[in-house]
């Protein structure tokens, strides 16, 4: 009687003595009436109806029919029987899904709105945007043509360089009011490709009458050497427009007269004609150095033409992009001039000087002036 009371109060006996056991070691008595299924439902905290519905759906749609259990313990683990109405409804839904998949066309897609239909909503807006873009491009091209017209660069080329495109010729900007004088040969499209319908007429005349023609006059050689030096950082068109200013300021480029300019005269020229004082001093210095060249070689003409053995160079360029800004010959001439004390005579300046006075014939072979300058070099005179 005492032992049973002790055991019921949580006290065990070890070697005949009572020992109090902690609560964690106590094991609850098993419940004989609790089934395995109810224990699982309680541990998962799911209602019995949800478990039955899920089991019924899985059994109807996916799982194959299971054989009858062989013992009563396995029978107690199976879910309860699914009603016939639920099974029939699930079977009907599965059949409809299968039938819809079988009847669907492989290339069938949902109808979408085409681009044509979208454009139909706002045709005016789309047209105005395209027109604005075309107008913007046209204005940009016109501005570019006007900018390059001042520098004598090519607006557009065809595949054969030297022929300006017909579109560029037909769409000359209205701002360029002066007309280009006709070429003596009547073939404007065959000029050097840097001459365009938008080039300044003064620059075109210089190309057709002076550029590349052999020069043997000391005053003209001094003039072109000076203009080539002051052209650095500018362009030939602006220099040619101020050509008369330089001629008036430097006594027609008379070497003897310019070499005698005093410091007061140089300051007066700089103020009266708007010329840089350093440039004026450099030109007067070059005149003094040319007098020394005359004493050594007899004339400036003999000095410069001796570098090419009195025969113009003829590279026969086919494309303007092949024309260099300086050559080995211009570098050698520049070094000799610098050694003699001349200023503004770098290799690029000297190459421009050589092109201007005909020491090299850099007209393109497609230009009529190439043949004319070659003939003038053979005759030893100027071309009219």
Q: Which residues participate in the annotated binding site?
A: 192, 207, 363, 367
Return binding residues for Zn(2+).
192, 207, 363, 367
- 10 Å CB burial of residue 171 (0-12, 13-18, 19+) is middle
Classify 64 as helix, strand or coil.
Answer: coil
In a 3-state reduction of DSSP, which class is residue 17?
strand
Per DSSP, 252 falls in state G
Distance CA 302, CA 217 (A): 10
Measured distance CA(384)–CA(370) in Å, rounded: 14
Whole-number Cα distances in Å, 334 to 22, 147, 217, 286, 328: 112, 32, 20, 13, 10
The continuous run of DSSP H or E covering 12 comes out as strand 11-14
Dihedral-angle region of residue 164 (phi above 0 means left; psi in -120 to 50 means alpha; beta otherwise):
beta
Which has the closest alpha carbon to 380: 311, 314, 316, 315? 311
Report the SS3 class of residue 160: coil
DSSP string, 77-119: HSPPPPPHHHHHHHHHHHHHHHHHHHHS-TT-------HHHHH
Beta carbons within 8 Å of 114's beta carbon, 6+ residues apart = none
Give the separation between CA 335 and CA 17, rounded to whole angstroms: 125
Q: How far apart are CA 366 and CA 192, in angstroms?
A: 7
Return the bridge partners of 18, or none: 13
């Amino acid at each position: 009687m005492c032992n049973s009371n002790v055991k019921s109060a949580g006290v065990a006996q070890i070697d005949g003595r009572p020992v109090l056991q902690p609560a964690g070691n106590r094991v609850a008595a098993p419940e004989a009436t609790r089934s395995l299924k109810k224990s699982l439902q309680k541990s998962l905290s799911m209602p019995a109806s949800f478990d039955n519905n899920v089991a019924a759906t899985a059994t109807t749609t996916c799982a194959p029919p299971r054989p009858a259990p062989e013992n009563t313990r396995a029978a107690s683990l199976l879910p309860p029987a699914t009603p016939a109405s639920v099974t029939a409804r699930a079977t009907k839904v599965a059949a409809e899904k299968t039938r819809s998949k079988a009847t669907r066309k492989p290339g069938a897609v949902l109808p979408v709105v085409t681009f044509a239909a979208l454009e139909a909503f706002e045709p005016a807006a789309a047209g105005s945007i395209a027109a604005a873009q075309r107008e913007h491009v046209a204005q940009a091209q016109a501005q570019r043509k006007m900018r390059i017209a001042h520098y004598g660069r090519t607006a557009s080329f065809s595949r054969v360089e030297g022929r300006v495109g017909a579109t560029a010729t037909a769409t000359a900007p209205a701002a360029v009011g002066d007309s280009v004088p006709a070429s003596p040969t009547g073939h404007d499209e065959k000029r050097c490709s840097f001459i365009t319908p938008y080039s300044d007429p003064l620059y075109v005349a210089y190309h057709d009458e002076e550029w590349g023609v052999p020069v043997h006059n000391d005053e003209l050689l001094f003039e072109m050497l000076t203009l080539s030096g002051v052209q650095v950082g500018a362009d030939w068109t602006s220099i040619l427009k101020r050509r008369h200013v330089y001629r008036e300021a430097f006594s027609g480029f008379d070497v003897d007269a310019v070499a005698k300019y005093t410091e007061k005269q140089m300051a007066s020229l700089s103020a009266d004609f708007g010329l840089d004082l350093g440039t004026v001093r450099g030109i007067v210095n070059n005149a003094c150095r040319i007098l020394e060249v005359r004493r050594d070689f007899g004339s400036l003409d003999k000095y410069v033409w001796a570098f090419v053995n009195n025969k113009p160079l003829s590279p026969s360029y086919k494309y303007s992009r092949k024309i260099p800004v300086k050559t080995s010959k211009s570098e050698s001439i520049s070094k000799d001039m610098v050694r003699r004390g001349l200023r503004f005579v770098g290799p690029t300046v000297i190459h421009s000087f050589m092109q201007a006075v005909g020491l090299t014939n850099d007209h393109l072979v497609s230009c009529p002036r190439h043949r004319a300058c070659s003939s003038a070099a053979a005759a030893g005179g100027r071309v009219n």
